[in-house]
Structure 1
Amino acid sequence: MIWPISIPAARLEDGEVSLREYSPADAQGLFEAIHDERVWEHIPREIPRDAGELDAGIRAKLGDLQRLTFTVRSGERVIGTTSIMYDRSAPDGVEIGATQFDPAVWGTGVNGRVKEVLLRELFAHGVQWVQLRTDERNARSAAAIRKLGATDLGVRQDTLIRRDGTTRRSHFFRLDRPVTE
């Protein structure tokens, strides 16, 4: 795999659901979509106060070029975000995470569709495995990851700090590249 990967926008669609590389122009729509306490319950950082603060937080994480962040839309409406993270010390794989959606689309299958689009493209680009993780307390997210067919790697201490100051314990999962004949 050659990082960073480049995926044409036309490849990141599944019907009405599409992913586009994040742009600061997306910040206001994204803020409106995910500005709900429930969305941030298991996220280990402060809830942004406005679209500018949300944008600054996203762009700060993009600075090291080890992350691709996408804005997720249903039609033209922004409904969430997700990211691909690359770690130079584990060059055969990536992590999909930092996924947040408008609660209005929870339980509708959007998350699974977004993950399937990303998995298809990542494996096509030579990625050998994809890691996913969620806070040990986030049963809804863990259930969605299991639906993808991910192998459960268990819960372990993480380096992330929760908003309440405790060190997060994360539930880790992995999907290996499908074997093709």
Structure 2
Amino acid sequence: MALRLPHTLPTLRTATGRFVLSPFTDAHVEPLAHILANDDIWAQGFGDGDHRPGTHAEIVAYIRRRYDGLRVFAIHYTGLTGGPLFVGTTGVTESHARTERAKIGRTVISPAFWGMKTNHEVKTALLDWLFARGAGRIECDVDPRNHRSLTSLTRFGFTVEGTRRRSSQRVDGTWRDIVILSLLTEEWPAARERTLRALAALAPVEFAV
């Protein structure tokens, strides 16, 4: 079964209903820029070796450049009485129909939602969709400094295949390694069941914003 992804993304709801994934649009650039102003995100190697933008206008320009042409979802939290709250993004950065391979990335979660299994819940919805569309292998590239992401992905079910050394050059001239992880379609049912069990144990949480 070849991997077939539509140009127009669907709207996805996560298993608990806490989050909705919808196509990323220009309206989401400003709220994403506010999230990317947080030091904790950049401290973990976010940015693929680029300099951190210094001003709000520079962050906006960075988002437009990095997100252009990609299949990216906006993530909204639905548990607030005032309406859905934008909390980040995730999406597909590469896809290859013949080899049934997809690479996911552009995952940014507001630090206010860290430690709440937000990433696992969102990824379950994204991977359900990708495997249903014919993906046989889903990959992630992660900066070795991003211990939070590496721990989260391996707990989720991804396998660390190795480190691509001297993978890309940073803007300061130094070289960056990348950890390569993958999850196969044959592994997804067991990984999915584990994640859903963990999500079912969550108590209802209201987030302070």
TM over 0.5, shorter chain: yes
Paired residue type of 2:90: T
Runs of 5+ consecutive residues of structure 1 not aligned to the other structure:
none
Do the aligned partners of 1:30 and 1:71 also contact (CA within 8 Å) in 2? no
Larger of the two Rg values belongs to structure: 2
Runs of 5+ consecutive residues of structure 2 not aligned to the other structure:
79-83, 190-209
In structure 2, C-alpha distance between the alignment counterparts of 1:114 and 1:143, rounded to whole Å? 16
* Alignment match of 2:23 (pick from 21, 24, 27): 21
Q: Deviations 1:38-85 (Å, cap 9, x if unpaired)? A: 1012022233322x544443333454x4x2112212121111112212
* Structural mapping, 1:8-157, within 5 Å: 8-9=10-11, 11-14=12-15, 15-41=17-43, 42-43=45-46, 44=48, 45-48=50-53, 49-50=55-56, 52-63=57-68, 65=69, 67-75=70-78, 76-88=84-96, 91-157=99-165
In structure 2, C-alpha distance between the alignment counterparts of 1:19 and 1:47, rounded to whole Å? 26
In structure 2, C-alpha distance between the alignment counterparts of 1:169 and 1:90, rounded to whole Å? 28
Question: Corresponding residue for 2:207?
Answer: none
Q: Shift in Å at residue 24 of structure 1?
A: 1.0
Paired residue type of 1:71: A
In structure 2, C-alpha distance between the alignment counterparts of 1:90 and 1:46, rounded to whole Å? 35
Comparing 144-153 and 40-49, the one that deviates more: 40-49
Corresponding residue SS for 2:125: helix
Considering only aligned residues, what root-mean-square deviation do their CA atoms show, in Å?
2.4
Q: Shift in Å at residue 6 of structure 1?
A: 4.7
In structure 1, C-alpha distance between the alignment counterparts of 2:72 and 2:139, rounded to whole Å? 16
Corresponding residue SS for 1:108: coil
Q: Count the aligned residue pairs.
A: 176
Paired residue type of 2:105: G
In structure 1, C-alpha distance between the alignment counterparts of 2:33 and 2:123, rounded to whole Å? 21
Comparing 79-88 and 144-153, the one that deviates more: 79-88
Identity %: 27
**Larger strand proportion of the pair:** 1
